[in-house]
């Protein structure tokens, strides 16, 4: 038996099942471990039948599903809970058929929000291989799937509407020279910190800056921030975002922005590979050794109520924060 509860008076079948499925993030396919009973029962290979019940009392809705034969049998997880068939799996086979030797294949998942506000789960497979000439290369394959979100309660919807009304206004224009100066100041501050960590400086890239500027302008008109899925060629870009709000006029200078990201250094542990970059990812991308180029964008939005919002976006190429690569790319200061 599995159950889910929602505080809203209505909850759709899609929302219920998606809530159970999200336990996939806690499951280890290699050894069948993890607190993911909702997910594992949902996809259990040996299960054939399902029965569903739903009841409501006031603002509480309870949904129950019974499965036969039951899943979650100890010692049988690996055989009954299969990995997601990644888009990159076929690519791995193609590389092998072409005479390449695949050295590693790792799958990363993250949630990103599209321009229309919809939430997506992006699955990214990084395949490292050696071609027929003995050259080491990396290929990245991506796929995305929309992730349904629970409908907020009425009071939350009203709060969101007020936030949207407050953001109505316009993005203030900045001259080309102002943006150029800001971009160079951000670059200079990046390279100041990178020098402290003994890694080469970045170079400004006009194409990346144009993309960063477009995304900063887009975010300025939204009620909340979200990540993009910007690419350079076929490769995903690294990304840092900063914002500042004020009831009146405000700005965000280059040093304050970059130092805000860099201050995450206090939470970073150099002697281990992080399992989660939350709270450190801005810093690690900033000083990532293998990143070579930088794009900078900045936008200021003046709302109808007179409040101001500043958004700064930086894109990095190649992207940092690559799994299992932190030790060789995030160096201690002075080294």
Query: Binning pLDDT at 50, 70 and 90, where does residue 158 land?
Result: low
Portions of the chain given CATH number 3.40.33.10: 1-83, 154-329
As a whole number, the mean pLDDT across the chain is: 82
Question: For residue 252, what pLDDT is reported?
Answer: 78
The helix (run of H) or strand (run of E) holding residue 30 is none
Q: What are 212-266's pLDDT values in tens digits?
A: 999 998 888 787 888 888 888 888 899 999 988 776 666 779 999 999 999 999 9
Which residues, in sequence order, are CB contacts of 189 under 8 Å at separation 6+?
254, 255, 257, 258, 259
In this prediction, residues 273-292 reach a mean pLDDT of 93
Q: Which two tokens stand for residue 154?
A: 């009425």
Q: Which fold has domain 154-329?
A: Pathogenesis-related Protein p14a (3.40.33)
Spatial separation of the C-alpha atoms in residues 251 and 232, rounded to whole Å? 29
pTM of the entire predicted model: 0.53
Answer yes or no: is pLDDT of 305 > 90: no
Cβ–Cβ < 8 Å for 311, 298? yes
Q: What are 197-221's pLDDT values in tens digits?
A: 999 999 999 999 999 999 998 888 7
Which residues, in sequence order, are CB contacts of 155 under 8 Å at separation 6+?
none
Cβ–Cβ < 8 Å for 261, 283? yes
Question: For residue 7, what pLDDT is reported?
Answer: 43
Residue tagged 């599995």 (tokens): 2
Cβ–Cβ < 8 Å for 330, 238? no
Q: Which two tokens stand for residue 214?
A: 């477009």
Q: What are phi and psi of 317, to 5 degrees?
A: -140, 130
By percentage, how much of the chain surpasses pLDDT 70?
Answer: 81
Question: For residue 5, what pLDDT is reported?
Answer: 46
Q: Which residues pair with 35 in a beta bridge?
A: none
Question: For residue 197, what pLDDT is reported?
Answer: 97
Question: For residue 25, what pLDDT is reported?
Answer: 83
Spatial separation of the C-alpha atoms in residues 194 and 110, rounded to whole Å? 27
Task: Name the nearest CA neighbour of 263 among 239, 284, 283, 281.
Answer: 283
DSSP structural state of residue 275: S
CATH superfamily of 1-83: CAP (3.40.33.10)
Q: What are 37-48's pLDDT values in tens digits?
A: 999 999 998 888
Q: Which of these CATH numbers, 3.30.360, 2.60.40, 3.40.50, 2.40.50, describes 84-149?
A: 3.30.360
Question: For residue 175, what pLDDT is reported?
Answer: 52
Q: Which of the residue ranges 55-59, 191-195, 293-297 would you say has the lowest mean pLDDT?
A: 55-59
Q: Which residues pair with 2 in a beta bridge?
A: 65
Query: Binning pLDDT at 50, 70 and 90, where does residue 146 land?
Result: low
Portions of the chain given CATH number 3.30.360: 84-149
Tally DSSP H helices, then E strands, for the chain: 10, 13
């Amino acid at each position: 038996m599995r159950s889910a509860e929602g505080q809203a008076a209505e909850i759709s079948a899609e929302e219920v099942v998606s809530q159970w499925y999200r336990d996939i993030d806690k499951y280890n396919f290699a050894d069948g471990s993890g607190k993911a009973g909702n997910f594992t029962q949902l996809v259990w290979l040996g299960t054939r039948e399902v029965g569903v019940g739903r009841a409501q009392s006031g603002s509480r809705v309870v949904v129950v599903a019974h499965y036969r034969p039951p899943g979650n049998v100890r010692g049988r997880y690996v055989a009954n809970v299969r990995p997601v068939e990644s888009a990159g799996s076929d690519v791995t086979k193609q590389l092998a058929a072409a005479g390449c030797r695949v050295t590693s294949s790792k799958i990363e998942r993250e949630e990103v929000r599209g321009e229309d506000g919809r939430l997506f789960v992006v699955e990214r497979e990084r395949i490292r291989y050696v071609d027929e000439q003995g050259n080491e290369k990396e290929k990245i394959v991506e796929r995305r799937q929309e992730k349904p979100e629970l409908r907020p309660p009425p009071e939350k919807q009203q709060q969101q509407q007020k936030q949207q009304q407050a953001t109505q206004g316009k993005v203030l224009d900045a001259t080309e020279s102002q943006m150029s100066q800001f971009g160079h100041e951000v670059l200079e501050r990046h390279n100041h910190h990178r020098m402290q960590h003994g890694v080469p400086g970045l170079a400004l890239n006009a194409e990346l800056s144009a993309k960063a500027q477009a995304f900063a302008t887009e975010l300025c008109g939204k009620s909340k921030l979200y990540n993009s899925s910007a690419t350079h060629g076929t490769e995903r870009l690294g990304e840092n975002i900063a914002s500042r709000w004020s009831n009146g006029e405000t700005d965000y200078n280059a040093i304050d922005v970059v130092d805000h990201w860099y201050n995450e250094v206090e939470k970073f542990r150099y002697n281990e590979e992080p399992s989660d970059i939350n709270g450190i990812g801005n810093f690690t991308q900033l000083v990532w050794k293998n990143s070579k180029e930088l794009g900078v964008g900045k936008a200021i939005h003046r709302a109808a109520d007179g409040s101001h919002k500043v958004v700064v976006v930086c894109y990095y190429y190649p992207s940092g924060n690559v799994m299992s690569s932190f030790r060789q790319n995030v160096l201690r200061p002075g080294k």
